[in-house]
Amino acid sequence: MPDLKYIKKRIQEGMLKDMWRETKWIYQYAKHYWPAMIFYTLLGIVTSVVGLLSSFVSKDLVDIITGHQTGALLRTFAMMIGLTIGSMLMNQATSYASNWISMKVDATIKADIFSKMLITDWESITAYHTGDLLTRWSSDASNISSGILSWVPNLIINLFKFFSAFFVVIYNDATFAIFAMLGVPFTLLMSKTLMKRMVNNNKRSAAMSAKMSGFNQEAFSNIQTIKAFDLIKYYSQRLRQLQSEYIGMRLEFQRMSIVTSIIMSIVGLLVSYGSYGWGIYRVFSGAISYGSMTMFLSLSGTLTGALNALISMVPSAIGLMTSAGRLMDILDMPQEDYSHEEEVAAFSDAYVQTGIHLQMEDITYAYKNSANVFEHASMEAHPHEIVALVGPSGEGKTTMLRLLLCLLRPQSGSFSLYGESEPSNPILQKAGLQEPPAPVGKRETIPLTPAARKLFSYVPQGNTMFSGTIAENMRSVKPDATDEDIVSVLQMACAWDFVERLPDGINSEIKERGGGFSEGQAQRLSIARALLRKSPILLLDEATSALDVATERKVLKNIMHDGYPRTCIVTTHRPTVLNLCSHVYAIRQKQCALLTKEEIKQMIDDF
C-alpha cells in the first residue's frame, strides 16, 4: 500500500496542519468577497438551470418530430431557440462578470500583498532574491485571487450540475444513471495518481519560475556589466540551460497528463457508447422515447463533465495551497511597527523648527549567522552639526545608518530622538509677542521606530534615481514642491549648473537607474531630492564619493550654512572634508570612537 504509506508520511510531516493553516489564510481574503462569489455562483446556477430546461425542451421537440408525442412544434421549437440564445447570453454574462470581478479582486489582493511586503522586516525579506519576490507577488497572488473567486463558486456550481442532472436521470430512468457513473471509480483512481504528481510539479514549477525571473531581472539590470566583461555568450548559454531545465520539467508532467487524459478519454468513450447502446435498446424495447434517449445522453455528458470538473478542482486546490504557502513564507515574517505614527507626528510638529537630536547608547548588533558588527557602541548628533563616520570599508558605516533607519534592529542598546525647548526671550515675552515657553532645558524623548523614518532623509550608496523626469523624482518625496523649491535644492546640491543646461531643465528625462547622467551628477540629484524633503535628520552614505573634492566641500558647506536646524550624519572614506565636520567618529574595534582635533588633523595629513 505505497499510497497509504505516502499519505501517512505526509500527515506526520504536518501536511494537514499546513493545509488548514493555508486555508485559514486564504479565508482572510475570501471573506471580503462573499457578495462577488455569491453573484458569480448564482449566475452559474442559473446557467445550469437553463441547460436543464434545454434538455427537457429538446426531449419534447424530438418526441414531437418522431410522433411519440403531440404538441405545438413551432412553439416548442421557438422555446428551444429562446433557451439556446438565453444560455449563450448567460454564458457571456457569466464570463464578463467573472473577468470583471477577477480583475478587481486580483488588483485589490496584489495591492494589499504589495503593501505588506513593503512593511516586512528588511533584513528578513532581503534573504529572498528580488526575482523570487516578484514571482510570488505576481504569479502566486494571481493564483490566490482567481482561486478565491472561482474555487468555491465552481464547487457549488458543479455540485449543482451533477446532482440536478443525476436526480433528473434517476427520476426518469435509473438504469441510465448506472451507465453514466460507470467511469467514476476509474476517474477517481487516475486523479489520485495525477494529484500526487501535481503537488510535486507545483512546487518545482514555482521554484523554477522564480529562478528564471531572478536570472532575467539581474541580467537586464546589469547589461552594462555583461557587455563590459564580454559575458554575452555566457549569459545566453545560461538562459538556454535554464529554459531547457524548465521545458524538461514541464514536458515530464505533460507526458503524464497526456497518458492520463488518453486513458480517461477512452473510458469516457466507452461509457458514452455504452449509454448509446443502452439507450437504443431501451428505445427499441419501447421503454423510452427517442426524446428521452436524447435527453439522457445529454445529461450523461453533463454528469461526466461535472464530475471531471469536480475532480480537476483537487489539483487546483493544491495549486492554491502551494501559492498561499509561498506568500505566507514572506508575509509571516516579522512586520515593522508603525503604531507610533501619531506620537512621531506630534513630536515633529513640536521640535522641527528647533531641531531634533539623535542619541545611540550601548548598541550591539550582528547580522544573522555572523559575528558582531558593533559591541556596546555609542554616539550622538545634534542640530546644525555635520557628524562624520569614518573607518575602513566593511567595518560597519552603512550598517550604522541602516540601524538609524530601523532597517536593522540591534540585539541590545537603544536609539532615541529628543527635542529641547528654546530659551525664552524676555523682551518678546514682555511685549506679548511670545507665549511663555516650557522651562529651559526640558527634553522630550521618543524611541527610534520605523514610524520615525519620516524625520529622516537618506542618500544611500550607488545610483538611486528612478526613471521619469528630474521633477518627478524630486516630487516623489514632496509632492507639493514648486519649481522654485526644486531649483533651490538643486543649487544647494551643486546640480543646477548642469540641469540648467539641459533642453528641458527639471523636466528632463532620467532613464532607469539614473541612465543619461554621470555618477557624480546622479549623486548630486539624489542629495537635492533628500534636501527637498527638508527632514530634521539627513543621512549621507558615501553620497559624495563620485564628486571631486572641491564640489564635495561646497555641497557640505551649503548644507551647513542652510540655516535649517538639520542634524546631518555622513559616512566618508575621504578625510579631506573632515575639517568641515562638527564631530568625527571612527569605527574601531566594533565601537564608535570620538576623534580629537589632533587625530582628525593627523588623518587628513596621512590621506
Is position 65 within any domain? yes
Rg (CA), the chain: 35
Name which of 61, 125, 588 is nearest 292 in CA terms. 61
Q: Residue 598 sits in a domain of what CATH number? A: 3.40.50.300
pLDDT band at residue 483 using 50, 70 and 90 as cut-offs: very high
Per-residue confidence (pLDDT) for residue 528, from 0 to 100: 92
Q: How many domains does the chain have?
A: 2
Farthest-apart Cα atoms in the chain, separation: 118
How many Cβ atoms sit within 10 Å of the Cβ of residue 463?
18
Q: Which pLDDT tens digit goes with each residue over 316-361?
A: 777 788 788 888 888 888 888 888 889 999 999 989 888 999 999 9
User: Residue with C-alpha cell 505614527?
Assistant: 341
Q: What percent of the chain has pLDDT over 70?
A: 84
pLDDT beyond 60 at 3: no
pLDDT beyond 60 at 471: yes
Q: Are residues 394 and 246 in the same domain?
A: no
As a whole number of angstroms, the distance between CA 271 and CA 67 comes to 29
Q: What is the DSSP string of 52-65?
A: HHHHHHHHHHHHHH
**Residue 587 pairs with which residues in a beta bridge?**
592
Per-residue confidence (pLDDT) for residue 195, from 0 to 100: 57
As a whole number of angstroms, the distance between CA 30 and CA 445 comes to 43
Per-residue confidence (pLDDT) for residue 198, from 0 to 100: 61
Q: Are residues 327 and 345 in the same domain?
A: no
Average pLDDT over residues 158-176: 78
**Residue 570 pairs with which residues in a beta bridge?**
388, 540
Q: Are residues 35 and 132 in the same domain?
A: yes
Q: Which grid cell sits at 584?
A: 568625527
Per-residue confidence (pLDDT) for residue 190, from 0 to 100: 59
As a whole number of angstroms, the distance between CA 452 and CA 338 comes to 9
pLDDT beyond 90 at 433: no
Spell out where 349-424 has E strands: 357-366, 372-381, 385-390, 412-420
Q: Which pLDDT tens digit goes with each residue over 223-263?
A: 777 877 777 888 888 888 888 888 887 787 777 767 766 77
Q: Where are the alpha helices (DSSP H) in 369-425?
A: 397-404
pLDDT band at residue 437 using 50, 70 and 90 as cut-offs: very low
> Which is more confidently placed, 150 or 7?
150
Q: Are residues 456 and 365 in the same domain?
A: yes
Name which of 420-429, 487-496, 532-541, 562-571 the model is least confident about.
Answer: 420-429
Out of 55-69, 402-416, 441-455, 505-519, give the one with best mean pLDDT: 402-416
pLDDT beyond 60 at 10: no
DSSP H/E element including 260? helix 232-284
pLDDT beyond 80 at 452: yes
Measure Cα distances from 139 to 132, 143, 323, 355 in Å.
10, 6, 8, 46
Q: What is the dihedral of CA 566, 570, 574, 576, to 10 degrees?
A: 20
Q: Are residues 572 and 598 in the same domain?
A: yes
pLDDT band at residue 430 using 50, 70 and 90 as cut-offs: very low
Domain that holds residue 581: 341-606
Q: Are residues 386 and 251 in the same domain?
A: no
**Residue 410 pairs with which residues in a beta bridge?**
none
pLDDT beyond 60 at 1: no
Q: What is the DSSP string of 485-537?
A: HHHHHHHHTT-HHHHTTSTTGGG-EE-GGGTTS-HHHHHHHHHHHHHHHT-SE
DSSP H/E element including 276? helix 232-284
The number of angstroms, rounded, from the C-alpha of 600 to the middle of its chain's C-alpha atoms is 47
Average pLDDT across the chain, whole number: 79
pLDDT band at residue 194 using 50, 70 and 90 as cut-offs: low
**Of 278, 299, 331, which marks where a domain is finished?**
331
pLDDT beyond 80 at 7: no
Q: Are residues 140 and 160 in the same domain?
A: yes
Name which of 5-9, 134-138, 243-247, 359-363 the model is least confident about.
Answer: 5-9
Is position 266 within any domain? yes
Out of 36-40, 203-207, 386-390, give the one with best mean pLDDT: 386-390
> Which is more confidently placed, 470 or 279?
470
Is position 27 within any domain? yes
Q: Are residues 370 and 408 in the same domain?
A: yes
Name which of 187, 199, 158 is nearest 309 in CA terms. 158
Strand order in the sheet with 443-447: 372-381, 357-366, 412-420, 443-447
pTM to 2 decimal places: 0.72
**Of 331, 366, 381, which marks where a domain is finished?**
331
At position 172, the amino acid (one-letter code) is N
CA 150, 153, 156: angle at the middle one, nearest 5? 140
Average pLDDT over residues 27-43: 79
Q: Are residues 308 and 444 in the same domain?
A: no
As a whole number of angstroms, the distance between CA 409 and CA 399 comes to 10
Residue pair 302/51 in contact by the 8 Å Cβ criterion: yes
Average pLDDT over residues 125-143: 82
Name which of 212, 210, 209, 191 is nearest 316 in CA terms. 191
Per-residue confidence (pLDDT) for residue 127, from 0 to 100: 81
Is position 145 within any domain? yes
Residue 137 is classified by DSSP as I
Q: Which grid cell sits at 73?
A: 412544434
Is position 336 within any domain? no
Q: Residue 298 sits in a domain of what CATH number? A: 1.20.1560.10
Per-residue confidence (pLDDT) for residue 179, from 0 to 100: 66
Is position 3 within any domain? no
Q: Which grid cell sits at 43?
A: 449566475
Q: What percent of the chain has pLDDT over 90?
A: 16
As a whole number of angstroms, the distance between CA 373 and CA 358 comes to 20
Average pLDDT over residues 558-586: 85
pLDDT beyond 50 at 12: no
Q: Which pLDDT tens digit goes with each residue over 296-322?
A: 767 777 777 777 777 767 767 777 887
pLDDT beyond 60 at 69: no
Name which of 141-155, 387-401, 512-526 the model is least confident about.
Answer: 141-155
Q: Are residues 308 and 356 in the same domain?
A: no
> Quick one: the chain helix, strand, coil %, rounded to 5?
65, 10, 20
Q: Are residues 589 and 544 in the same domain?
A: yes
> Which residues are CB-neighbours of 379 under 8 A, at least 6 positions away?
360, 387, 585, 592, 594
As a whole number of angstroms, the distance between CA 375 and CA 226 comes to 40
pLDDT band at residue 431 using 50, 70 and 90 as cut-offs: very low
Q: Is the dihedral of CA 61, 62, 65, 71 positive or negative?
A: negative
How many Cβ atoms sit within 10 Å of the Cβ of residue 541?
20
Measure Cα distances from 231 to 197, 225, 226, 238, 530 in Å.
38, 8, 5, 10, 36
pLDDT beyond 90 at 276: no
DSSP H/E element including 344? helix 341-351
Per-residue confidence (pLDDT) for residue 272, from 0 to 100: 67
Q: Is the dihedral of CA 477, 481, 486, 492 positive or negative?
A: negative
Q: Which pLDDT tens digit goes with each residue over 45-59?
A: 888 787 777 777 777
Residue pair 457/533 in contact by the 8 Å Cβ criterion: yes
**Of 268, 301, 331, which marks where a domain is finished?**
331
Per-residue confidence (pLDDT) for residue 14, from 0 to 100: 55
Q: Which grid cell sits at 231?
A: 559575458
3-state secondary structure of 359: strand
Q: Which pLDDT tens digit goes with each residue over 518-561?
A: 888 888 999 999 999 989 999 998 887 788 888 888 988 888 88
Q: What are phi and psi of 361, to 5 degrees?
A: -130, 125
Per-residue confidence (pLDDT) for residue 2, from 0 to 100: 39
At position 353, the amino acid (one-letter code) is Q
pLDDT band at residue 189 using 50, 70 and 90 as cut-offs: low
Is position 540 within any domain? yes
Per-residue confidence (pLDDT) for residue 365, from 0 to 100: 92
As a whole number of angstroms, the distance between CA 313 and CA 292 comes to 31
Is position 85 within any domain? yes
Per-residue confidence (pLDDT) for residue 162, from 0 to 100: 82
Helix 141-172 crosses helix 73-118 at what angle (to 10 degrees)? 150
Q: How many residues does the chain have?
A: 607
Per-residue confidence (pLDDT) for residue 404, from 0 to 100: 92
As a whole number of angstroms, the distance between CA 398 and CA 95 comes to 53
Q: Are residues 297 and 394 in the same domain?
A: no
